[in-house]
Structure 1
Amino acid sequence: MASVTLLKTKGLTRHFGGLKAVNEVDFEIREGEIRALIGPNGAGKTTFVSLLSGRIAPSAGSIEFLGRDITKDPAHKRVRDGIAYTFQITSIYPGLTAFENVALSVQSAQRRAPKPAGLSARDLLHRKTRDALERVGLGERAGDLAGTMSYGHQRLLEVAMGLALEPRLLILDEPTQGLSDGEIENFCALVKEIARSATVLLIEHNMPVVMQLADSITVLDHGELLANGTPEEIRANKTVQAVYLGAD
């Protein structure tokens, strides 16, 4: 595992009125790792990653990405800098085909990357879009309208859209929700392949998936950091068992 710190937070906080959704969380993820973020419903996981991606602003605290303070950067700038976030609820364009959805992400990535010599922008767009769809197993569904696809396939399409952005950090929020057992197995293989070129932050309730994929795990509870550790350490943690794992 690489030792470079990719992203870190210090005292990251978000309050909604009297609700402490995220409260003074210090967090660090290193380049090249697969980190899982787990916790009970209402633990603050989605609020936390929404803070990381810039979808909402913190009440207090700071966020650094590759050593630069991005706390006040808007979401679109964080995407350009290399942070991609697939939502817990699908955020596809239902009236466009799968190909067209992914092509929009490819176009966004192309704006910040030099074009290889000898390849037209159109050819590059087509190739990268097809590659992203093939990686998630949707190559044969490129022409399908996104809105007519099954929920599980829509989740995979959203992952393809995230991959097409060529991120340094890919945040996956409940990606196996709606997937069949066979699709989950393929997804796990995909995440391992993604981790060769990007860091992955995985928010997931499926504990067998978490234990199979994660290099390390962070546990949140009531908006606060409860534990960090390897899968083995988290599985053996009595506090985590009482708060979360023991309830499964």
Structure 2
Amino acid sequence: MSLLSTQGLTKAFGGLTAVSDVDFELPQGEIRALIGPNGAGKTTFVGLLCGRMAPSAGTVRFDGQDISRLAAHERIRLGIAYTFQITSVFARLSAHENVALAVRRRGGDAVREVPEALQRVGLRDRAGDLAGDLSYGHQRLLEIAMGLAQKPRLLILDEPTQGLADSEIDAFCALVRGLAPETTVLLIEHNMSVVMRVAQKITVLNFGAVLAEGAPEVVQADPAVQAAYLGGVEA
């Protein structure tokens, strides 16, 4: 059963169509990667999924419910968590306090759950540090901890490995693999090594439309994908 789906999803900005008639199905418990060249429409597509913008046409459904017109905070309550491509932590609060805000938002037990979330991303020993004092990579990990603290059914990760050291990327890959099947993951990622290691299926966007979709090894070998993305644009 699909947890998330779109039908004819379209977003136009004046004369520019950023997302064009996209049909998309994400089954419960799957780790899906969304890739494509810069300007392919990935960020706009994800913005339509999480409610940061409204579609020009088409629908978004979550667990069978039409959420196309729901605000972002209403989608969070349904179980959709989204980490931004640019970090959105509260710089003047500690790492612990940042995660505690996410826990309290859904009425959870901060005393127990905050250390667990920080431990999962490797930041438990940085709990007392101000978020603004953390490295960029550690801020990304903190944001993932905040997402996990919401106990989401769907976790959307936008460029999560940007700024991470190799050892941190290894830990991140293990973390994502450990989330399934309880948590469905949509991963927007330029690092193809990460994509190939964690994704069960890949969707490729190009010029706002789906160019290809399938198992990682199949997509990687697709001539159209290689020409549009893997052959010369950030891989």
TM-score (norm 1): 0.92
Please give the alpha-carbon distance, in whole angstroms, between the structure 2 residues aligned to 1:58 and 1:161.
Answer: 27
Please give the alpha-carbon distance, in whole angstroms, between the structure 2 residues aligned to 1:19 and 1:95.
Answer: 39
Please give the alpha-carbon distance, in whole angstroms, between the structure 1 residues aligned to 2:131 and 2:26.
Answer: 33
2:115: which partner in 1? 130
Please give the alpha-carbon distance, in whole angstroms, between the structure 2 residues aligned to 1:211 and 1:18.
Answer: 35
Specify the SS of the correspondent of 1:217: strand
Instruction: Read off the aligned partner of 2:66 and give its amino acid letter.
Output: D
Please give the alpha-carbon distance, in whole angstroms, between the structure 2 residues aligned to 1:105 and 1:196.
Answer: 22
Shift of 1:98: 0.4
Instruction: Read off the aligned partner of 1:52 and give its amino acid letter.
Output: L
Contact 2:30 2:181 in 1 (8 A): no
1:207-226 matched pairs, under 5 angstroms:
207-226=192-211
Please give the alpha-carbon distance, in whole angstroms, between the structure 2 residues aligned to 1:12 and 1:221.
Answer: 14
Q: Give unmatched runs, 5+ long, in structure 2.
A: none
**2:69 aligned residue (69, 72, 75):** 72
Shift of 1:196: 3.6
Please give the alpha-carbon distance, in whole angstroms, between the structure 2 residues aligned to 1:46 and 1:139.
Answer: 30
Please give the alpha-carbon distance, in whole angstroms, between the structure 2 residues aligned to 1:155 and 1:125.
Answer: 20
Specify the SS of the correspondent of 2:231: helix
Residue 34 (1) aligns with residue 31 (2): yes
TM-score (norm 2): 0.97
Query: How many corresponding residue pairs?
Result: 233
Please give the alpha-carbon distance, in whole angstroms, between the structure 2 residues aligned to 1:221 and 1:177.
Answer: 21
Please give the alpha-carbon distance, in whole angstroms, between the structure 2 residues aligned to 1:175 and 1:200.
Answer: 12
Q: Give unmatched runs, 5+ long, in structure 1.
A: 111-120
Please give the alpha-carbon distance, in whole angstroms, between the structure 2 residues aligned to 1:197 and 1:154.
Answer: 25
Supply the RMSD in Å over aligned alpha carbons. 0.8
Moved over 3 A (4+): none
Please give the alpha-carbon distance, in whole angstroms, between the structure 1 residues aligned to 2:52 and 2:111.
Answer: 29
Residue 84 (1) aligns with residue 69 (2): no
Using the aligned pairs only, state the percent identity.
Answer: 64
Please give the alpha-carbon distance, in whole angstroms, between the structure 2 residues aligned to 1:22 and 1:145.
Answer: 38
